[in-house]
Structure 1
Amino acid sequence: MSEYWFNIRTHEVEVDAQSDWSQLIGPYETRAEAEKGLEKVEQRNKAWDDDDE
């Protein structure tokens, strides 16, 4: 089964992590989840910031 990764530098989805790990977030089970990877990170960061206040 393939894993999908979101590359934060190129904003492309990669299958089975082809780039350097420092540029990737994931893994995700589907391409659709990976495509929203950066959006999910931003939502989590905002939630954590709100909790800190």
Structure 2
Amino acid sequence: MADEKFYYNPATGEVTQGKVDSWDSRMGPYDTREEAEQAIAIAAERTKRADAADQADDNWGATPSWERRN
């Protein structure tokens, strides 16, 4: 069964169909060539959302009384 997915190589900027490059030289898989061409923008948006979720998770409200310095 052939790999029908598309991958983006950040080192070369090329989009390939199938796992042409090694795992450390590709981003994906993506369903379409157009999606693969947007790999950097997609990754940046996902990182932005993950950072926001991490920040929200870190903000638990007021510091507990046993951790406060008076």
Which segments of structure 1 move beyond 2 Å, counting only runs of 4 or more?
Answer: none
1:27-46 to 2 correspondences below 5 Å: 27-46=29-48
Look at both structures and tell me which one has the larger radius of gyration over its CA atoms: 2
TM-score (norm 2): 0.67
Residue number in structure 2 paired with 1:4: 6
Structure with the larger strand share: 1
Count of matched residue positions in the alignment of Structure 1 and Structure 2 = 53
Report sequence identity in percent: 32
TM-score (norm 1): 0.84
What does the per-residue CA deviation read over 1:3-50, in whole Å, with 9 as the maximum and x for residues that have no partner? 110111111101112111111111111100111111101101011111
Structure with the greater relative contact order (CA < 8 A, sep ≥ 6): 1 or 2?
1
Residue number in structure 2 paired with 1:48: 50
